[in-house]
Structure 1
């Protein structure tokens, strides 16, 4: 047998072996897997998240000892409304979904502990995209050594200690945007002046909208949020300026909070818009699976965060009682 025939035979055998391995192990890179293969792969990957937190490793001075408990993924259905509310309220505690194949659960637990330690020294309020927030940071070049900025939150990105949020405001006719790290030690105070939501998860289109929709006074007073009610949703529809725009808003059919993006396109622009569309992504179940989190895992993180918040609330109440008794 010649060398070329041996090489072809070896290549064919390798392809057959790889096909058998991929079909039996539930490879995540294939987009043609059946639902039963996806469910089987979830059961296999779910076992990797079962770990026991070592309480002895946590220091006593942090106050977060024993907060992270054992993850139990029982697969039982959880209330979807509670899960969705937690995702909107605390997106910084959710793990990254773009690295689902390379997640490190122990590292996520350690990051969560550092976030708890930071929250003990900094009160982070509840705010969403569309809320008006004020941030006070240290500034060595300021006469008061502090700098305060007020703006509307137009974007929240990333997760864990790398979580960021962007504020936008119009000052003296100039649009200013500042991106803050939520757990930056230079932040002295974060205050939510007006708590509300918008129709879209991001408000980047405010850059191409009239300035009155992004203008807020720097000395704005806090608007009390309604107690015992859901966060109000501001359903205002903002008109866009005349093109040119910074982005192709006419191609974004999923945006609900803007008007004027349905302008007439030329033949060349329509051709480019058709080429940029990706309709096959709507039916890509593996892509949706890789970018999503299991509800029981989110429920576990929700329980851990709630335990920490309850402990912090009790600690603050005890400190207030001690101060009242001393006075």
Structure 2
């Protein structure tokens, strides 16, 4: 995560945090920790930083070009379990989640990256070779090159990738939504969260659609470029932390509220069959789908929906209206989601 230009409210979405001494990051939670730390890191940034901490990627001016920079980490026991996945799937996902950050910024072409890996000494070599095969296959698809990194002994598997991409066109910031904009989303929601539950319950069908959505997410780079080409997108991010969380982050970053039409959220046939009456809950708060959540000017909605991969699912409102989820026009409760550091 990175990004907020001068004048933008980069950390409003994280809420107000006490400046008193606190004992642990767990007592703050992920968003409270970031709200406490990032403003300090953002002070005194030079003019070459077009967008600092607060978005899916930072933007840095290099000569006449602008580059997007992002990093993501996958930790065994937090983001994956070795018994659930394969080396190839893990390599794919390590790159995919970083490319998703670049896609969330708009028209960005992936370029190069550096990968650091922490490994226990008893890690099977075949698993790591599989990791790099999966990584390399997705890299070739998107013209991405791995140019360096580091390795270290660790008590569990840890992979941290820093990815760089060149900005070609329109950039989506989190702070650009305006009252009256349409709230939109790509793909389908809730699949990966359902896949996680299947694995936790002992399912071993790694080829099932829901499980594959968790283990092998697809970065929406091509879709992001088409959206940028419309000129109608006003703000955006990915849905890695869940759709509802993304809506609140976009709204609070832009100082607006939002109304979500929960019964309009895109749900796959697989999720609808498996989750039965709870598919809407999964779509609202399930994370790890890596879809694009964005706002668009009303006049751009018809063209965007004609692409076939995105739909309108709500409306941006004045900030005083807050955030509301509706089903058939009536307010509905939103389940709680996951947050790092909170157990």
Same topology, TM > 0.5: no
Structure having the higher Rg: 1
Give the TM-score, by structure 2 length.
0.23
Which structure has more RCO (C-alpha within 8 Å, separation ≥ 6)? 2
Give the TM-score, by structure 1 length.
0.24
Larger proportion of helix = 1
